[in-house]
Structure 1
């Protein structure tokens, strides 16, 4: 961010300083974690389910914070915090968004950062990581760590940008209609990419057509003269072109402006392909495991082309890049064992992609899928889990450990797969350990299923 006085920060957040005395002090950064303070930050006190940031107001100031953004005067003042350093707003989450919106607007008054937004039911984080690599040649780039894609993570990412930033890459998530409208109001986009509309958060959205409606809000949030990058292989995404003035499509099946041909998946599960656009082509050798990443790479290539990069430079930037964010198709080995850790999150489409990667990578060894529940599927949950169980069988996976996912286990067992059930990750651990000497293991499940804990624990034990 461009540094601001505490008084000007209060104005940007639509807040009020509780007392005079420090209005001219400088705010140089924003954080929601009091432990990260080194000096000059605005600490935003977020009230969470287990922790209330207001309880750390004085601690943040003592650590060097310039001020604290609060919504609960009484709780913050009870810590002994100086009222002259407290900015009161109706909602600290909304205030954070307003600060980010103001910061980006001020940067755009004196510089021309390219602001890119990525959304989709699957592939957001991987595509964001690919873009961070490919677009780095434009100059200083800001991209979120992991999946900072919500009402807290996106503003914090925006606030890391300053007048020297050439490219700002933003991952944008949605679990209800209106999310992306809000996020793009904070950061209006020069280029927006929609990767896919899949069966994720169906319980919240009430159906896949509402998922599509929510994702289309990103296209509406693109600035005049900007470009919408759309997946031509997804008819719901392709239909969003009606909302955009300039469209660039991508396709893994050869039907887009940017497309792939000659896709080859090696014995290591990594895909290579020929990238095409406007009569030119270049070979890409991905470092990511799974053929489904071809589509993510094409999306990143289309965004880079819209940003003006040449095709050969894009192909070079895509080639060789492995997993950058934790628990997303992270492949590692220990002795005769290979592990595919894709445990960050799951929906039916990403679960199938992970299982296909397991089948491709296993070769002649034994394959084990350690799968948790896919959450937020609403009334479709049992049916979708049973279908995934049958998919385990169809792909020839040898063994399934189903963690707190009885319908998934039932589907696999009915199709003849050796199926073990565990009610929790702790109960699954000994079942896993008995089978973790050789072969290939896939870890996959919604974040709330905590399958990632098993992946981490196994890695700590073996590596």
Structure 2
């Protein structure tokens, strides 16, 4: 306890009460508070990572364990909201921030965040606190899994799949496997490692583990459901409760979320994209559309490093197998060799009404930076206008 008091005093006197609060110090303070709360309260941590499907899997596990019958057995739970999956986001989740938390630019707002974070930490230390956390763990400029496991060491680690993603930082797939492996290595022998079996790195990850390893099958929501059931078995939740809870799951917005608009069906998978998730989205379109005309409206994929153009060319080939019409958005999307190309998602949204017809089945997907959600918003606006 004296260690914590000295650390808090040093942060407030030597750092926080400066005339300016630098971003790195604010981030360090929030991470410090999250780590302290975890050490004091010792919640059970389920860490979820992967190149695709980690957000859906986190939501699936979180919603399953939040089912009243499950919660009665394991206690209250809390899970990552809105993709807060870097070091800062994981620490903020441990402090029970349930909305996306950005570092403010305004100094007054930064001081207010210091007060809020400190209050949440104190409330966590002396009040009620979740027994279980489900934490989404990403890789990126502000996400370091080697450090993240020191903030919230996992009792269960889930790796959904590994493929080309975040290669601007990791450079190679081997480097990405090593980075993801930090979560596998961190699980103690009494814990559990759950691996999706649909990628070539399963045995390599298995060799990193100290804990028992189980593999599960499936893609997309099916994989997420099988992972959630494996987590429930590890926590001693009876199968009938677990199966009932997973049936109630609804896809989060922007993640293979289907809806009907004006006689068409749209698969909104706009939250993010890499080659793995692009293939899943395209395969889903092909499987569910039946004999309806299939349109793939694809934004560029970001963070693929020097091989970005090659990955786009490969996805373009796959897209022509799965869709009747391929529409590309963004400079890299030229490599899809699309039937129609737009420079921006705004330009695509402006013209989309002229490209679609009743009974079409649409997939809208792209990296977050390509802002493909603008196309989805326009489609919904068209429906509202026609009803009015």
State the TM-score, normalized to the length of structure 1.
0.69
Residue 394 of structure 1 and its aligned partner are, at CA, apart by 1.4
Q: Which runs of 5+ in 1 are unaligned?
A: 19-68, 77-87, 253-259, 261-290, 414-418
Partner of 1:129: 59
Partner of 1:293: 221
Q: 1:391 to 1:233 in 2, by over 3 A?
A: closer
Q: 1:348 to 1:90 in 2, by over 3 A?
A: closer
Aligned partner of residue 155 in structure 2, secondary structure: strand
Residue 9 of structure 1 and its aligned partner are, at CA, apart by 7.3
* Alpha-carbon separation, structure 1, partners of 2:197 and 2:298: 30
Q: 1:375 to 1:410 in 2, by over 3 A?
A: closer
Q: Does residue 423 of the first structure (1) align with residue 343 of the second (2)?
A: yes
* Alpha-carbon separation, structure 2, partners of 1:133 and 1:191: 17
Q: 1:374 to 1:410 in 2, by over 3 A?
A: closer
Q: 1:157 to 1:381 in 2, by over 3 A?
A: same
* Alpha-carbon separation, structure 1, partners of 2:276 and 2:212: 25
Residue by residue over 1:369-407, the C-alpha shift from the partner in whole angstroms, topping out at 9 and shown as x without a partner, is 111111111121111101111111112x1212200145x
Partner of 1:458: 379
Q: How does 1:85-124 map to 2 (within 5 A)?
A: 91-108=25-42, 113-124=43-54
Contact 1:177 / 1:213 at 8 angstroms: preserved in 2? no
Contact 2:313 / 2:337 at 8 angstroms: preserved in 1? yes
Contact 2:309 / 2:335 at 8 angstroms: preserved in 1? no
Higher helix share: 2
Partner of 1:171: 136
Residue 235 of structure 1 and its aligned partner are, at CA, apart by 3.3
Q: Which runs of 5+ in 2 are unaligned?
A: 97-123
Q: Does residue 191 of the first structure (1) align with residue 191 of the second (2)?
A: no
Partner of 1:314: 242
Residue 13 of structure 1 and its aligned partner are, at CA, apart by 8.0
- Runs of 4+, deviation exceeding 6 Å: none
Residue by residue over 1:35-82, the C-alpha shift from the partner in whole angstroms, topping out at 9 and shown as x without a partner, is xxxxxxxxxxxxxxxxxxxxxxxxxxxxxxxxxx848x2336xxxxxx
Aligned equivalent of 1:221, options 186, 190, 201: 186
Contact 1:227 / 1:306 at 8 angstroms: preserved in 2? yes
Residue 311 of structure 1 and its aligned partner are, at CA, apart by 2.2
Q: 1:98 to 1:454 in 2, by over 3 A?
A: same
Residue 411 of structure 1 and its aligned partner are, at CA, apart by 4.1
Q: How does 1:59-74 map to 2 (within 5 A)?
A: 70=16, 73-74=18-19
Residue 462 of structure 1 and its aligned partner are, at CA, apart by 2.2
Residue 237 of structure 1 and its aligned partner are, at CA, apart by 3.2
Residue by residue over 1:155-175, the C-alpha shift from the partner in whole angstroms, topping out at 9 and shown as x without a partner, is 111111664412111000012
Q: 1:209 to 1:421 in 2, by over 3 A?
A: same
State the TM-score, normalized to the length of structure 2.
0.82
Q: 1:224 to 1:410 in 2, by over 3 A?
A: closer
Aligned residue pairs total 347
Contact 2:164 / 2:274 at 8 angstroms: preserved in 1? yes
Partner of 2:101: none
Aligned partner of residue 340 in structure 1, secondary structure: strand
Q: 1:312 to 1:74 in 2, by over 3 A?
A: same
Aligned equivalent of 1:304, options 217, 229, 232: 232
Partner of 1:202: 167
* Alpha-carbon separation, structure 2, partners of 1:9 and 1:171: 30
Q: 1:247 to 1:376 in 2, by over 3 A?
A: same
Contact 2:206 / 2:213 at 8 angstroms: preserved in 1? no
CA RMSD of aligned residues (A): 2.6
